[in-house]
């Protein structure tokens, strides 16, 4: 007896999936078609049902080593091979390799007389033979509904179809059954009744004269799946579904920073630049230098030896190269070196999905580290704003997943605050720069500010953007007397005024310094004079004292000698002398 606690109910076995070989499809279905079960693909004529089926088989052989059988009820075998050869599917080679069987079931044009009970064993035998010949794991029946035109006994046909799908399941093959779209129902003959494990609808919508193919998973028993309508494309690489949310938000992020190509702009972005693999939005009105900033970024990237693609939707490559010469950026050099690719196309020349796919193809082929789209706002002309946003979201996701630093420029329409534009993608981007036209003192100048830069301590100050013959530069910040940013010649005037004031101050100081010095000197002189005077006085005084002393001593000695004389002459006391005379 096991002592283990009561066994936790094992999760129900996960439905096995069969990789579809269709780019993007496995992402929205969690792995592909239900393995070992039939899947119904319905859609109008020309919606890509046959191609989807064939791609499923061809990729199954090429990528998963799973041989396949294609049983066609409509297109002729030869036509089929020719039609898909342009997509790089070499059916004859696969057939020769015994990996693929093309079964062409010819439906007689005339009604076949029915003379009693019958079944479709002939078809079963034929399909079974084909499956066994190559050991097929994948089967496509295209379009089995054609049988409805050939057979009149619908009761028999329906029961035989039911039997066929059961039989296919028993065979363990993953099957795709295509059917024509019916009016008000998924299929014209109600095939969804028999094939109910997985039903996929292909559709084509025309909005504003631009056609978009769309795919929707109507149901997928036992599996989570995306419920949206997903745009899909049929182009040189075959059938591609473009899921919006395929990648999810789990791409690796980089802490590396790449220079913007403008030193002072780097300084504004925490002194370094943009995050590698980040998405940058550069918006502004016409003529604000968006392309120049983008070109500087590309230029810096190429200098570091990184590969770059510049998608331009308004200028031709030559025009771009020429224009950038005016700010000393030589893009030609990088093109010649093979590190830069400029891809130009008109947004309206194709549907958005075609653009997206073409861009992705080029990205996957060129493997750039940096991609610029200039400008993305022009995509609104190729679809609705909503479609354009959805497409850009997908592009952002796909580029992020590839760790490609992407810069989108966006033309903000005049009269609309730049911050309000691009509402669709601004929340997706990591760094958002806005360039504004300022008009003051009769001239237009450009001011660049950083609206956001995720994960970065960026400058909050608006700076004047300068497009000089030496490249893109930023002016020092000048705040005018009223607190606003001062730019252009007003800035220059302000600079001059500031310089003049500084000069005046300097002159004033030196003048004052001279005056002080003079005053000092004067004082010194007067001190010296007074000192001389004092010395002179002292001298005089000394002299006087000396004279006085000598006179005194003379008088004393004189008196003494007089006394002696008197005593000798009269012998009379002095008092007698005095009285005698009186």
Partner 1 sequence: MRRAARGLIHEGPVTTAVPDAEPLAKWDLRLYVAGQSPRSLAAIANLKMLCEEHLAGEYQIEVIDLLKTPQLSRDDQIMAIPTLVRRLPAPIRKIIGDLSDTESTLVGLQLRRPPATKRA
Please state, in angstroms and rounded to a whole number, the distance separating the CA atoms of residues 321 and 288: 18
Q: Is the CB of 71 or the CB of 200 nearer to partner 1? A: 71
Strands, E assignment, 155-284: 174-180, 198-207, 210-220, 229-235, 238-241, 257-258, 274-275, 279-284
**Burial (Cβ within 10 Å: 0-12, 13-18, ≥19) of residue 3:** exposed
CB of 356 to partner 1, least distance (A): 43
CB of 125 to partner 1, least distance (A): 5
The token pair that represents 62 in the structure block:
């090429």
The token pair that represents 98 in the structure block:
């015994």
In a 3-state reduction of DSSP, which class is residue 137?
coil
For binding to partner 1 (CB under 8 A), which residues are involved?
Answer: 103, 105-106, 108, 112-123, 125-126, 128-130, 147, 150-151
| Residue located via tokens 């966006």 | 410
Q: Is the CB of 130 or the CB of 282 nearer to partner 1? A: 130
| Residue located via tokens 């075609």 | 354
CB of 117 to partner 1, least distance (A): 5
CB of 147 to partner 1, least distance (A): 8
Residue 208 has phi, psi (to 5 degrees) of: 50, 45
CB of 37 to partner 1, least distance (A): 23
- Spatial CA neighbour of 27 closest among 302, 279, 350, 394: 394
CB of 228 to partner 1, least distance (A): 39
Q: Is the CB of 103 or the CB of 464 nearer to partner 1? A: 103
Please state, in angstroms and rounded to a whole number, the distance separating the CA atoms of residues 426 and 430: 8
CB of 96 to partner 1, least distance (A): 17
Q: Is the CB of 123 or the CB of 309 nearer to partner 1? A: 123
DSSP string, 22-43: SBTHHHHHTSSEETTSEEEEEE
CA distances from 366 to 62, 157, 205, 211 (A): 24, 53, 32, 28
Q: Is the CB of 119 or the CB of 326 nearer to partner 1? A: 119
Q: Is the CB of 78 or the CB of 521 nearer to partner 1? A: 78
Q: Is the CB of 147 or the CB of 262 nearer to partner 1? A: 147
Estimate to the nearest angstrom the gap between the alpha carbon of 227 and the chain centroid. 28
CB of 167 to partner 1, least distance (A): 14
Q: Is the CB of 117 or the CB of 170 nearer to partner 1? A: 117
């Amino acid at each position: 007896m096991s002592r283990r606690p009561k066994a936790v109910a094992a999760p129900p076995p996960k439905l096995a999936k069969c990789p579809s070989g269709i780019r993007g499809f496995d992402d929205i279905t969690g792995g592909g078609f239900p393995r070992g079960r039939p899947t119904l693909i319905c859609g109008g004529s020309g919606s890509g049902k046959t191609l989807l089926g064939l791609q499923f088989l061809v990729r199954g052989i090429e990528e998963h080593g799973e041989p396949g059988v294609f049983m066609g009820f409509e297109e002729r075998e030869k036509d089929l091979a020719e039609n898909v050869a342009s997509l790089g599917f070499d059916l004859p080679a696969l057939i020769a390799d015994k990996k693929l069987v093309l079964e062409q079931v010819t439906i007689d044009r005339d009604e076949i007389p029915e003379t009693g009970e019958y079944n479709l064993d002939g078809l079963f035998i034929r399909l079974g033979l084909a499956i066994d010949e190559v050991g097929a794991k994948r089967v496509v029946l295209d379009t089995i509904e054609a049988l409805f035109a050939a057979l009149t006994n619908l009761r028999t046909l329906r029961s035989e179809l039911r039997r066929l799908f059961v039989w296919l399941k028993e065979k363990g093959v993953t099957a795709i059954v295509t059917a024509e779209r019916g009016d008000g129902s998924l299929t014209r003959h109600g095939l969804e009744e028999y094939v109910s494990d997985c039903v996929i609808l292909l559709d084509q919508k025309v909005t504003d004269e631009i056609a978009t193919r769309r795919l929707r998973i109507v149901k997928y028993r036992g599996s989570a799946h995306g419920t949206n309508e997903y745009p899909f494309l049929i182009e040189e690489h075959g059938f591609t579904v473009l899921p919006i949310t395929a990648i999810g938000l789990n791409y690796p992020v980089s802490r590396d920073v790449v220079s913007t190509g403008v030193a002072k702009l780097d300084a504004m972005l925490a002194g370094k630049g943009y995050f590698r693999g980040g998405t940058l939005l550069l918006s502004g009105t016409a003529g604000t230098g968006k392309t120049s900033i983008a070109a500087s970024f590309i230029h810096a990237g190429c200098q570091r030896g990184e590969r770059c693609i510049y998608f331009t939707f308004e200028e031709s490559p030559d025009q771009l190269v020429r224009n950038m010469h005016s700010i000393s950026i030589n893009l030609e050099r990088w093109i010649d070196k093979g590190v830069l690719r400029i891809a130009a196309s008109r947004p309206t020349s194709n549907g958005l999905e075609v653009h997206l796919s073409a861009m992705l193809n080029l990205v996957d082929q060129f493997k750039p580290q940096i991609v610029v789209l200039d400008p993305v706002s022009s995509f609104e002309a190729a679809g609705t704003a909503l479609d354009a946003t959805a497409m850009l979201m997908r592009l952002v996701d796909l580029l992020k997943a590839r760790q490609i630093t992407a810069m989108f420029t966006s033309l903000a329409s005049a009269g609309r605050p730049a911050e309000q534009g691009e509402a669709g993608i601004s929340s997706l981007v990591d760094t958002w720069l806005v360039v504004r036209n300022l008009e003051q003192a009769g001239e237009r100048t450009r001011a660049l500010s950083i609206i956001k830069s995720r994960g970065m301590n960026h400058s909050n100050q608006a700076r004047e953007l300068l497009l000089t013959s030496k490249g893109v530069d930023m002016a020092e910040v000048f705040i005018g007397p009223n607190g606003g940013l001062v730019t252009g010649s007003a800035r220059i005037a302000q600079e001059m005024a500031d310089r003049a004031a500084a000069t005046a101050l300097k002159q004033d100081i030196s003048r004052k310094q001279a005056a002080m010095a003079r005053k000092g000197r004067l004082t010194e002189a007067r001190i010296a004079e007074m000192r001389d005077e004092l010395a002179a006085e002292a001298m005089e005084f000394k002299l006087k004292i000396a004279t006085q002393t000598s006179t005194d001593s003379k008088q004393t000695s004189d008196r003494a000698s007089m006394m002696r004389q008197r005593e000798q002459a009269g012998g009379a006391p002095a008092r007698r002398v005095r009285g005698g005379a009186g």
